[in-house]
Chains A and B, each alone.
Chain A
Amino acid sequence: MNFSFLHFFHFNYTFQWGVAFAHLPELLQGAVVTLELGLLTFWGGALIGLLGASLKTFGGPFLRRVADVYVVFFTNTPALIQIYFLLYGLGDIGILWDPFTCTLIGLTLNAGAYLTEIMRAGFISVHRTEMEAAETLGMSVWQRIRFVIVPHIAKVIYPALANFFIVILVMGTSVGAIVGVDELTGQAINISTENYRWLEMFVVVAGIYVVLTLIASLSLALVGRWAFRVKAKVL
């Protein structure tokens, strides 16, 4: 039997897990940055999403168009390109922002587009009859928004929001590593360039991401059950 195909392989890699675990503190620092980036992106995106959804639902034809173009553009182009555009493109005009800021703004604009659609689904779900009932009860517009619309919408879109937060956390923030942000993946790259234990580092990092997202999912599901009585999937 011809075993020459084995020349493709070389089995002389020795795993050194100790090295990877020795750098756990630095990795966890990176994880903190990941969470920071994730939270800032989410809330910033949520504000944009609220604005965009409002424009799409209540705005005139021009404003609706603007929101549409924004959403369509940012949901059909990669976040990485958006970040490159900010990081290198603005540099051409003389605006020099650091990688973290560019990543934050890029991801926020990106997230805002997706969140606009999520929020809009929430807006649409409020039936006209609920609004009319609130009106006949003598509530002012502000009261209507506060006591009828927002709780209803919050409950309807909470699962989608919670899920999207996980998406941002896991997928979104890792993009920052490419431009030099010291979040979890970025830290792994930093450390690996020094000790050359890329494989072990990234396996550990993968593990941390899994743990991070499991904790986040669990917490969000519990919050959902208590605060909104939403029966979201725990895992």
Chain B
Amino acid sequence: MLERLAMEAPRFFAPHNLALLLEAMGMTLALTVVGCVLGFLLAFGIVFLRQTPGRLALPIRFMAIFYVEIFRRIPFLVVTYLVLFFIQAFVNNASLFAIAVIAICIYSTAYTADIIRGGFESVARQQTEAAAAMNFSRWQTLVSVIIPQSWPVILPPAVAFAVGFIKDTALVSQVGVFELTFRAKEMNNEGFSALLVFGTTALLYFAMSYPLSRWGRWLEQRLASSPSKRSQQRLRPAHRS
């Protein structure tokens, strides 16, 4: 066994192969970032819709809730397949990357929406009332008062979700996107020993996931301080009152 590994190692770790793996890692990260950032932005939209007041808006609120509750309960693999088949049924020559990103987007929007909603609801209702009493529109209240006060509560779990999603992108290999798992399977099919291939792949995923999750935890602690302290963190401490 070990002899086989020793024999294969130089061929496996050849520059050509390594370049391929590196490129695949880039693809994995690209999918994660694009999908999760888009998902994050869309999630704001979903939460905004969900909070539309008035009886006429009941269908809108219902759809927003329905979307989140449904897509939180379907496995990512199934969502990916659904997006694949749905798009291929109606669109010619759809890009696999686009399909993967859309699937990641749909899935992450549903999860992030709950994080965002929790964050918004953590801001005291009185803040919203003070804004309303001064004729702030719902959007202005969101942008000027609620988001600035809730992003310390929203960002860490959202970042943690995105970092965790690096592992979930492995499922997108089923659609044929050239990310890390796809390349690994390919190399195994070409004849490289599975221990070598998947062992290395595991370490590569680890190299992407672990540092980022540590950074996420640092971010969480950094954001846990109050607004006045945060405004002083970049400058030297001003005179305290």
Contacts and interface: CB of A to CB of B under 8 A. Distances in A.
Q: When A and B assemble into the complex, do they touch directly, with CB atoms less than 8 Å apart?
A: yes
A130 B48 CA distance: 46
Contact of B184 (A84, A93, A202): A84
B67 to A, nearest CB: 12
Given A9-B92, A81-B198, A199-B89, 18 more contacts: A7-B92, A8-B92, A8-B93, A10-B90, A81-B201, A81-B202, A81-B205, A92-B1, A92-B193, A170-B73, A170-B74, A171-B168, A174-B76, A174-B77, A175-B171, A177-B77, A203-B82, A209-B74
Contacts of A89: 193-195, 198-199
Contacts of B7: none
Contacts of A174: 75-78
B174 interface: yes
Given A80-B170, A81-B201, A88 B73 contact: no
Interface stretch (A47-55, A71-79, A133-141): A71-79
Interface string B79-100: 1011001100111110000000
Contact of A205 (B69, B78, B173): B78
Nearest to A216: B73
A3 interface: no
Nearest to A88: B194
Most chain-B CB neighbours within 10 Å: which of A10, A78, A91, A205? A78
Interface string B42-79: 00000000000000000000000000011001111111
Interface residues of B, number: 42
A104 to B, nearest CB: 17
Interface of A: 7-11, 13, 72-73, 76-82, 84-85, 87-89, 91-93, 170-171, 173-175, 177-178, 185, 188, 198-199, 202-203, 205-206, 209-210, 213-214, 235
B206 interface: yes
B213 interface: yes
A199 B82 CA distance: 6
B213 A209 contact: no
Contacts of A205: 78
A13 B90 CA distance: 7
B185 interface: yes
Contact of A210 (B73, B185, B202, B213): B73
Interface of A is mostly: helix
A7 B91 CA distance: 9
B209 interface: yes
B188 interface: yes
A92 B195 contact: yes
B167 interface: yes
Contacts of A203: 82
B199 A85 contact: yes
Interface string B148-187: 0000000000000000000110110110000001001100
13 contacts: A76-B167, A80-B173, A81-B181, A85-B194, A85-B202, A92-B194, A171-B75, A178-B174, A185-B81, A188-B78, A202-B78, A209-B73, A210-B74
A80 B171 contact: yes
A202 B206 contact: no
B218 interface: no
A106 to B, nearest CB: 11
Contacts of B201: 81
B210 interface: yes
A11 B90 CA distance: 6
